[in-house]
A and B are shown apart, each in its own frame.
Chain A
């Protein structure tokens, strides 16, 4: 999500910035030494994923991948997304610098919600439950982000229901794609590197 410069009012921008600062502090505090490369990897994944646009649907939208990022990083998603969004707004002029806080919150809060909702279900042995919840995680993260964008735009005078409906409809193809991608990621990681998914639950404190 990249809300442009000059769209949002000051209170919304300040609230977003405050939440982002607190979130980043918590994220950095919780981030373990061994997870720094993982956070950087997910940060660059988000950075690149936003450039891949999905041509289906009424308007062109891009991938977000916040479901996967939330699952793998938990609270560390805050600094990861903030860094990626900052670079996007400087290098590609995606979204305004002042709107960084709000944009970060719009992406990370849904990621965190999905992390807490599906974190346990995904690590279950049952393939069906694991796959289903992975799909739901990817799907729901984008859906919630769309709703969050609607909420942030309410204060600019756009009618909430109207905007939310627009954003949700525009992102529907992305929700499906991300659901499938998340499911694939979880299956792949469970086979190749199951400890990555486990780390999110019980971080390795020391080696």
Chain B
């Protein structure tokens, strides 16, 4: 009778353990592994503008979060707030490294540094942009002479800036994709089970020391 009772007790305990393990397994496979607790900032350029995107690591944007821009010496250059899509757009005031700090409140903060090298192609300040020059030659396409005249008038710097702008425009979706995928990284079932493993390992060490202490006395 006693033995039967003991047997019953053990099956119950093993059922509890099995239930716990299955729950963990189930959650790790199906739960939306989205979480709010890592803020990631990314930035890309278009013309003379820097687009800053702030998001939590589950892909949701940081809405209305404060963004500050610092120069290398730590002086605050400008600040603003992100819009509904977590975007903050600004024109860089100078060609130095720019440190962007996003504060999403409640202790969530993300940083991103724009290296000075990446700002080389960016037009700093309020130099006139020349988008209007683009459609002008189309009217003269039928006259070969007109083209060469027009081509002679366009100076290489202008062509460079136009090409630059077009490339940046074409690359923008790609940059956004990269920014998004960067934000998604962070953890996988491997790391989750790894973490649980570490904790169980620590338990083993603790029990080992207690065991040795116990056997000495």
Contacts and interface: CB of A to CB of B under 8 A. Distances in A.
Interface of A: 1-8, 33, 36-37, 39-41, 43-44, 47-48, 50-53, 55, 59-62, 83-84, 87-88, 91-95, 99, 149, 152-153, 158, 163, 166-167, 170, 192-193
B128 interface: no
B169 interface: no
A163 to B, nearest CB: 7
Nearest to B16: A192
B187 A193 contact: no
B199 A93 contact: no
Most buried by A among B27, B60, B111, B203: B203
A51 B207 CA distance: 28
5 contacts: A4-B39, A5-B109, A7-B103, A92-B187, A166-B106
B134 interface: no
A20 B39 CA distance: 25
Contact of B106 (A37, A50, A83, A153): A153
A84 B199 CA distance: 8
Interface in B1-54: 12-13, 16, 20, 24, 27-28, 31-39
A157 to B, nearest CB: 10
Contacts of A41: 20
A91 B200 contact: no
B177 interface: no
Contact of A51 (B33, B103, B106): B33
B135 interface: no
A137 to B, nearest CB: 21
A43 B199 contact: yes
Q: Among A4, A37, A152, which residue has the most Cβ atoms of chain B within 10 A?
A: A4
B28 to A, nearest CB: 8
B205 to A, nearest CB: 10
Contacts of A62: 35-37
Interface of B: 12-13, 16, 20, 24, 27-28, 31-39, 56, 58, 60, 103, 105-111, 186-187, 191-192, 194-196, 198-200, 202-203, 206-207, 210, 214
Given A91-B195, A166-B105, A53 B210 contact: no
Contacts of B38: 92-94
A88 B195 contact: yes
A95 B37 contact: yes
A95 B57 CA distance: 13
Contacts of A94: 35, 37-38
Contacts of A40: 199-200, 202-203, 206
B39 A52 contact: no
Nearest to A49: B27
Nearest to A156: B107
Contacts of A158: 105
Tell which of B12, B34, B35, B103 has the most Cβ of chain A within 10 Å: B35
Contacts of A3: 107-108
A199 to B, nearest CB: 15
B35 A91 contact: no
A7 B58 CA distance: 21
Nearest to A47: B195
A167 B106 contact: yes
Given A33-B210, A44-B196, A83-B199, A7 B35 contact: no
Contact of B31 (A51, A61, A84, A192): A51
